[in-house]
Structure 1
Amino acid sequence: MPRSIRPDAVLVQAVIAGALSFAHLHDLAAAAGQIGWKAWAYPISVDLLLVAAWRRLRSDGPSRLAWCWFLIALVASLGANVATAGFLDLQHPPAWLRFGIAGWPALAFLGGTLLAHSPTAEDRVPDPPAPAAPEPAPQIPEPAASAPASEPAEIPAADEPPALPAADPTPAAPVPAALVDHARKVADDHHARTGSRIDTDTLRARLGVPPQLADAIAAQLA
């Protein structure tokens, strides 16, 4: 059985509204001086621009370009419907209406060209990804400075009289007796003041003699 044709109310409503809008645009163009086929071309131009802008919005998503030309075509269609409802004297149309009708072809051509040749979302070349920043090199922790080893505390030695240097095995030079007597007095004076025997360095410093002679004198005093 053939399928029964069930009219769609929305489709019927769209056809009626489109036909009325088409007729109003034709009447407005004819009143502005566009006669013959020109008057029929105006409603086609307006409706095609409206459909092209709406299709761009549906396919590529909202954009300023598509919304701009959709609103321009919608204002042109609504303006024609309102103007032919008795708000304008179509027998004596105003100058601005003639100006608008005359300039519409260029405006519609510009809108259609921009909608047709502007890059869509599929045509746009994605921007190359930004190069990733190099990762910082891992920092190797510096070894902690080792604490200086503490030096062993020096243990003070007990107070001991300095030992006289060992006698030189070489034979010592003869020492004058007067110098030995003087050295003995110096040693006795040192012992009386300090309570300890005089050492060779102190004796040499007190007498002002060379080291070898001081050693020989110390040997004589021992």
Structure 2
Amino acid sequence: MARPALRVDAVLVQAVIAGALSFAHLHDLAAAAGQDGWKAWAYPISVDLLLVAAWRRLRTDGPTRLAWCWFVIALVASLGANVATAGLLDLHTVPAWLRILVAAWPALAFLGGTLLAHTPAHVEPEARADTDPAPGPPAAEDDQEHAPASGADTREPAALIASEPEPVPVPPAVSAPPVPAALVDHARKVADDHEQRTGTPIDSDTLRARLGVPPQLADAIAARLT
């Protein structure tokens, strides 16, 4: 037996009835607040569209502060109209603060719809098993523990001696360069003048700078002066 193409759903019927009543209450409240004509019919559409947009954002992108904020604002506007038109508010003498709220609702709804439509969703990265780094090759320490420490341990003593590196020859000490006697006499005069002016003996660096000689020659002259 084929199932009927159109099936009456009790939940769907209840949603239609609730939507129609809420639509009428919002229209009556807007009309009582001074929004007559087509403007009174636009208010319930604006409230319901904002409520649906916020609920869609919650369903698609998950619970966020932005979606919950505008969902609560639209829900309070819808429930507030239902309660206000239930006899708790005299629709012939609407207070000024309610008129201000009704007049400011279009700008508020436009702001909420723009933020819900154009604010990117923040998606938390999910940890996946396939994105985990592949385990690297096993460490070679286990194999090295069972392997010989080095190939040199199994060789003969003669092979060990032959494989040792040859000692690096140490270069002979550089002999001090010869110092002319005239240069020594001139250096002694420079040293005496420095000691008279400063009260301290002249050092090798100062002597080299005053005489303009290489460092080795300055060291040899300083040794002759002591």
- Band of TM-score, shorter chain: 0.5 to 0.7
Q: Structure 1: which 5+ residue stretches go unaligned?
A: 127-222
The answer to whether the aligner puts 1:118 opposite 2:119 as a matched pair is yes
Report the equivalent of 1:14.
Answer: 15
Greater Cα offset, 49-58 or 3-12: 3-12
Matches of 2:3 and 2:9, distance apart in 1: 18
Residue deviations 1:18-49 (CA, integer Å, cap 9, x gap) = 00000000000000000010000000000000
Report the equivalent of 2:37.
Answer: 36
Assess, with a 3 A threshold, how the Cα gap between structure 1 residues 4 and 117 changes in structure 2: closer, same or farther: closer
Output aligned runs, 1:66-77, within 5 Å. 66-77=67-78
Instruction: Determine helix, strand or coil for the equivalent of 2:42.
Output: helix
Report the equivalent of 2:105.
Answer: 104
Report the alpha carbon displacement of residue 6 of structure 1 after superposing the two structures with TM.
2.4
The amino acid across from 1:18 in the alignment is G
Output aligned runs, 1:1-222, within 5 Å. 3=4, 5-121=6-122
Matches of 1:59 and 1:3, distance apart in 2: 31
How big is the alpha-carbon RMSD for the aligned residues of Structure 1 and Structure 2? 2.0
The amino acid across from 2:82 in the alignment is N
Assess, with a 3 A threshold, how the Cα gap between structure 1 residues 97 and 10 changes in structure 2: closer, same or farther: same
Instruction: Determine helix, strand or coil for the equivalent of 2:22.
Output: helix
Q: Structure 2: which 5+ residue stretches go unaligned?
A: 127-226
Count of residue pairs brought into register by the alignment: 125
Report the equivalent of 1:184.
Answer: none
Report the alpha carbon displacement of residue 111 of structure 1 after superposing the two structures with TM.
0.2
Matches of 2:20 and 2:69, distance apart in 1: 24
The amino acid across from 2:88 in the alignment is F
Higher gyration radius (CA): 1
Instruction: Determine helix, strand or coil for the equivalent of 2:6.
Output: coil
Report the alpha carbon displacement of residue 55 of structure 1 after superposing the two structures with TM.
0.3
The amino acid across from 2:91 in the alignment is L
Residue deviations 1:179-217 (CA, integer Å, cap 9, x gap) = xxxxxxxxxxxxxxxxxxxxxxxxxxxxxxxxxxxxxxx
Matches of 2:10 and 2:95, distance apart in 1: 38
Matches of 1:2 and 1:108, distance apart in 2: 43
Q: TM-score, normalised by structure 1?
A: 0.54
The amino acid across from 2:105 in the alignment is W
The amino acid across from 1:78 in the alignment is L
Matches of 1:37 and 1:120, distance apart in 2: 35
The amino acid across from 1:118 in the alignment is T
Matches of 1:109 and 1:3, distance apart in 2: 42
Matches of 2:106 and 2:125, distance apart in 1: 33
The amino acid across from 1:13 in the alignment is Q
Q: TM-score, normalised by structure 2?
A: 0.53
Residue deviations 1:76-125 (CA, integer Å, cap 9, x gap) = 00000000001110001011110100000010000000000000247x99
Sequence identity of aligned pairs in percent? 80
The amino acid across from 1:59 in the alignment is T
Matches of 2:72 and 2:15, distance apart in 1: 19
